Amino acid sequence: MPLDHTARGVYPIAPTPFHADGRIDFDSIDRMTDFYREVGSTGMTVLGVMGEAPKLDQAEALEIATRFIRRAGGLPVIVGVSAPGFAAMRGLARAAMDKGAAGVMIAPPNTLRTDDQIATYYRQAAEAVGEDVPFVIQDFPQTFSVVMTPAVIRRIVQESPSCVMLKHEDWPGLEKISTLRGFQADGSMRPISILCGNGGLFLDFEVERGADGAMTGYAFPDMLCDVVRLQAEGQRDAAHDLFDAHLPLLRYEQQQGPTGLAVRKYVMAKRGIIASDAQRKPGAALTAKARSEVEYLLARVARKDPRAGKLR
């Protein structure tokens, strides 16, 4: 089923599991996929920045995406296809769609500056992957150095019918969500799905501002699912209570680059979701001190959310 603007819930950003020697760990892909489904994810996103996508070659990327898609059993899978050029982007996008992907995610190259450059890039990218391929804009200025105003996002949406979703990870970004939903309300932009990244750091309020859910890789996607569900049910305080219980750890995981990923993979391995916290080179591993900090945080989270205290 192709992705469309009604998507909601939680699409975890799946890490790519590796063996210690850098080979892809396909068994862990299966286990992780099952886990995501069991905890209530409504989809998943693979080959993102935190999926170590740039470290893969084209064949590996497709193989990984295919494995996730097969195991997902119909749960929509979004495939990151960001690439330095359109030929490589198109190649992966079409192959992934052939394998059953629900859509693709496209990040802007970090050389884009002006509004026109950004809008033009997305128009060309949409054309390159094919206008039958639903795509997600990734708006992550902290990492990509590309700043998109709400008006530019609207322009992309209006110019590209195949744009169906925004991965929102601008920071600060709460007013941006409100502005975009305002554009829909005043009729100047057709509806899109907005899922939030940025490590989940503002998820509690983002859904209150009108976001449809989360697209991030925090090691407790189960918590993300519950927070989004609780908010949807109108249980605001309960949602915040659960979110706040995890915030110290979530914040700790939210360290830029390989450190944050090391925390995430460490916790996921500890939970038994993946076999190893190995990153492909160049990567990072937690120091003993950092591991003890994570353990301390896990123990503290477990006082309020028992899931943090035991294996899945």
Residues lying near its own copies in the complex (CB under 8 A) are found at: 53-58, 60, 83-88, 90-91, 110-111, 113-117, 120-121, 124, 142, 146-149, 151-152, 171-172, 174-175, 178, 201-202, 204-205, 208-209, 240, 243-244, 247-248, 251-252, 255-257, 259-260, 280-282, 287, 289-290, 293, 300
With contact defined as beta carbons under 8 Å apart, do 129 and 135 qualify? yes
- Give whichever of 234 and 282 is closer to its own copies, judged by the CB atom: 282
- Give whichever of 6 and 124 is closer to its own copies, judged by the CB atom: 124
Helix (H) or strand (E) holding 121: helix 115-129
Minimum separation from the CB atom of position 169 to its own copies (A): 13
Q: Report the binding-site residues for pyruvate.
A: 215
Minimum separation from the CB atom of position 147 to its own copies (A): 4
- Give whichever of 2 and 248 is closer to its own copies, judged by the CB atom: 248
Minimum separation from the CB atom of position 237 to its own copies (A): 8
Report d(CA 107, CA 138) in Å as an integer: 5
Minimum separation from the CB atom of position 214 to its own copies (A): 16
- Give whichever of 73 and 172 is closer to its own copies, judged by the CB atom: 172
- Produce one character per residue of 212-223: b if its CB has 16 or more CB atoms within 10 Å, e if not: bbbbbbbbbbbb
Residue 44 structure tokens: 């998943």
Instruction: Count CA atoms within 13 Å of residue 24 on its CB side.
Output: 22
Report d(CA 83, CA 24) in Å as an integer: 20
Strand partners, 24: 18
